[in-house]
Structure 1
Amino acid sequence: METNGRVKKKYLSVLTDLESKLREGHYGPGRKLPSVREATTLYGCSAGTIVRAYAELERRHEIYSIPQSGFYAVARSRDTSDPDEGGKIDFASASPDEEMFPYLDFQHCLNRAIDRHKTSLFTYGNPQGLDTLRQTLVSHFAGDQVFAKAENIVVTSGAQQALDILAKMAFPNGKKTVLVEQPGYDLYLRFLEAEGIPVRGFPRTSEGIDLAELEKMFASGEVKFFYTMSRFQNPLGTSYREEERKAIAKLAGKYDTYVVEDDYVADLGGGRRYEPIFSYDRNDHTIYVKSFSKIVFPGLRLGAAVLPEALRAIFQAHKRYGDASLLSQAALEVYIRNGMYDRHKHAIASQYAERMMTLNEALGACDDEGIIEAADVREGVYIQFKLPRTVNLDRMTKQLAERGVLVVPGKEFYLSDYGDWDKFLRISVSRAKKDRIEEGVRAIVEEAKRCNRK
């Protein structure tokens, strides 16, 4: 007899696959889905698992049933503001695909949260975050190998708020300079420059970083913290190797330099085991920051930071108000506790992995001359299309836009005074429709060849 864990895993696998087929149009509007008996054979599971999956899809209004006939796909409405509606292929947007937003699940969680907490949700709340959510996050983070006490977790109004506070506040090491990866997260770079915060760039490529050079930077005694996206870095899309993560953690403790690890899309790992830098830190010098907006929807505006003991009081002094919505926090707590978060993250991780695979296959098929250099990125949402130095990047980006292909040029991901920057496009599969990815890649290859000055 199958264990409960195996039954649950099979159910989630079936449900995820059915959702994927509905979303990608495999079952068009009004088309009949396999009968329960057919689906049982197709998926190699019990009839109860299929019935449960169909019931969940019906509750979500993804399918409908006709007595004595079967289950049918519901027509999917599209927002007329969707850029793909105008014939555009969107490789630029960093926002999650709206068709993947868990509207109905989260609506249910909002109602449950109100019933559970009632009037307490409409007060100012604790600046550190809802106590029950922080307790829930203890076990949630443990799944990512981030072991923390609830008192060291602070819920923020998006991950960006945590990053902003960390940049502005004084650190116990007395240092001033923020070290950032180049290329790196563009919005944070612009924030640091606008606020006049001392900042220096450190080169990172799809192959990783030079650890000896990083040690020299840490040993200089100037670096307050090193800001890094260790996993699925924006814009490169690559992740640090295990030896790099271990070394960074060790260097931080050795030179009293902190590491701010922005694990913004940790949930897109598809179940592959990955220990963040935080898990290797034996000196309490890593701040772990995570966003929930990327995995649920941007409007949620919730993030969390796991702080070393030495930083707790200073951070909380800067975050004096309970500015993160208590209702959203309570709903997120229900969403995680009920297993909906895990199910949703597996579904979207699978979707993005399929798009990334399609992208890689398309590049291999279209770029017979190898004009574009791309790392082997199979998960996450970003990948770097590195171009020859002779390509006129501005002209190429403009010509692609005229052809309806939206991309982001790489120069935006560097500090304004950083001189040694590569020519590349950051390609995002977040909003790219799977059936148009090859068309978009072909256009990029064609324009790269056209704009490559001889």
Structure 2
Amino acid sequence: MQYSDRILNTPSSFIRNILKVTDASDVISFAGGLPNPISFPLDAIQTSIDRAMKEHGAKLFQYSSTQGYLPLRQYIADKYNRKHGLDISPDDILLTTGSQQALELLAKVLVNKGDGIIIEKPGYLGAIQAFTLSEPTFYPVTLEEDGINLEELEKALQQPNVKMIYTVPNFQNPTGLTYSLEKRKQVYELVSRHDVVLIEDDPYGELRFEGEDLPYIGAGKLENSVLLGSFSKTVTPGMRLGFVITKNKELLTHIETAKQATDLHTNIFAQYVIYDYLANNDFDKHVEKIIDLYKTQSDAMLQAMEKYFPAHVSYTKPQGGMFIWATLNNGQSALDVFQKAMDKNVAFVPGDPFYTDPKGVSTMRLNYTNSTPEMIEEGIKRLASIF
């Protein structure tokens, strides 16, 4: 059997593969990027399912428009205009099957084989996987404490056929880092001088438990701005409901065409149910409960790290989101540590899949949102014994 180059060169999801071996009940897993299931509003969603069925009947099970359910797009537009000072309409929004699909559609629309994509280093592995299918040239730019390195970004923007820049400005996956206000302004100034699409992927932005909300880098200011959002981290990930926001009509039309070719439209049942939930519940209060939960879990992990980790292990201190990024400054390979950690029934994600080039790195991603504070302390204690 002969397979395409694009699939042979695209790695399978490291995390999905890890989750197969970390599902055992005796494993303390910091590996997945899983929202805590106690945050899912099960009763309210059940009520919304019943009400949507009663009010809309067969429409929940029929084919629908590619762009998505209008009342839900209107809700998203109103929310972003109110909270972020944007000036968007429902026509600037397309609903996708999670943000992951949005990444693949953008690559399909913008990238020919060999074209350049600027990505954070380390970067979100789901984006690396989605973009790799388009056989691009990656230009990784080092992510620093306050955002990407400006000198490297400027150099990358000089490369031929650079089509887009992919960023996660708030509580980045995998590092948990957030771009500072000053760095956002500097990145905007640099990008505004080039004909590239700036993608700001913001699945975690509402999960801030420290500091002030910051404006987006390009949304509402750059003509070629694309903002991605999702209900996966705030309502339910299993319904796979995300969205693309851009005022570039030509770009959105091409994304819609690509989506028609991919799956016609996003699950319409989920769209009706999520909209009903949002329209009939105090969403902000619900998110506040998630923030309080994740703050407790983040604090538990940071306190355990401070207590047990040796001095040669450094780590980020997130202001929100779901991840902490640790670095073994003695040069140990995180992959080697992973094997030893599994022997002690504790799991994390080694840093390798978050890079497009180096292997055998000394970094790792730790997720704190799917474990109790007691489990977190025990898991960190086990890791420390290996370090």
Query: TM-score per shorter chain, which class?
Result: 0.7 to 0.9
Show the counterpart of 1:56.
Answer: none
Q: 1:130 aligns with which of 56, 69, 82?
A: 69
Aligned to 2:42: 103
> Is the CA contact 1:353–1:380 (under 8 Å) kept in the aligned structure 2?
no
**Match in the other structure for 2:294:** 352
1:268 alignment counterpart: 207
| Residue pair 1:208, 1:240 contacting (<8 A) in 2 also | yes
Match of 2:230 in 1: 291
Question: Are the equivalent residues in 1 in contact too, given 2:118–2:139 (CA < 8 A)?
Answer: yes
Tell me the distance in 1 between the aligned counterparts of 2:233 and 2:85.
Answer: 19
Contact 1:409–1:424, Cα closer than 8 Å, also in 2: yes
CA deviations on 1:118-164 (whole Å, 9 max, x unpaired) are: 33222211100001111111122235416221100001111111110
TM-score, with normalisation over the residues of structure 2?
A: 0.87
Shift of 1:167: 0.6
One-letter code aligned to 1:370: A
- Following superposition, the deviation at residue 165 of structure 1 comes to 0.6
- Does the 8 Å CA contact 2:334/2:360 hold for their aligned counterparts? no
* Residue from 265, 270, 277 that aligns with 1:323: 265
Question: Among residues 412, 427, 430, which one is paired with 2:353 in the alignment?
Answer: 412
- The share of aligned pairs that are identical, in percent, is 26
Deviation string 1:345-391 (CA, Å, 9 cap, x unpaired) is 21111111111111111111123x41210122242110111102431
For 2:5, the equivalent position in structure 1 comes to none
Runs of 5+ in structure 2 lacking a partner?
A: 1-19
Whether the 8 Å contact between 2:31 and 2:347 is mirrored in structure 1 is yes
- The match for 1:13 is none
Give deviations 1:22-79, integer Å, cap 9, x for gaps. xxxxxxxxxxxxxxxxxxxxxxxxxxxxxxxxxxxxxxxxxxxxxxxxxxxxxxxxxx
RMSD: 2.5
Counterpart among 251, 266, 283 of residue 311 in structure 1: 251
Asked whether 1:200 is paired with 2:142, we answer no
The correspondence for 1:149, drawn from 71, 83, 89, is 89
Which letter does structure 2 place at the counterpart of 1:410? G
Partner of 1:426: 365
- AA aligned opposite 2:252: R
Residue matched to 1:370: 311
Deviations 1:267-309 (A, max 9, x none): 2114842222244x52322100012122222211100000232
Contact conserved, 2:28 with 2:379, CA < 8 A, in 1? yes
The structure, 1 or 2, with the larger RCO (C-alpha pairs under 8 Å, 6+ apart) is: 2
Equivalenced residues, count: 363
Partner of 1:52: none
Residues in 1 aligned to 2:360 and 2:141: alpha-carbon distance in whole angstroms = 11
Give the whole-Å Cα distance in 2 for the aligned partners of 1:151 and 1:250.
27
8 Å CA contact retained: 2:95, 2:266: yes
Instruction: State TM-score, norm by structure 1.
Output: 0.74
What is the CA deviation profile of residues 169-188 of structure 1, one whole-angstrom value per residue up to 9, with x for unaligned ones?
Answer: 137x9x93111111111122
The AA in structure 2 aligned to 1:165 is L
1:332 aligns with 2:274: yes
Greater C-alpha radius of gyration:
1
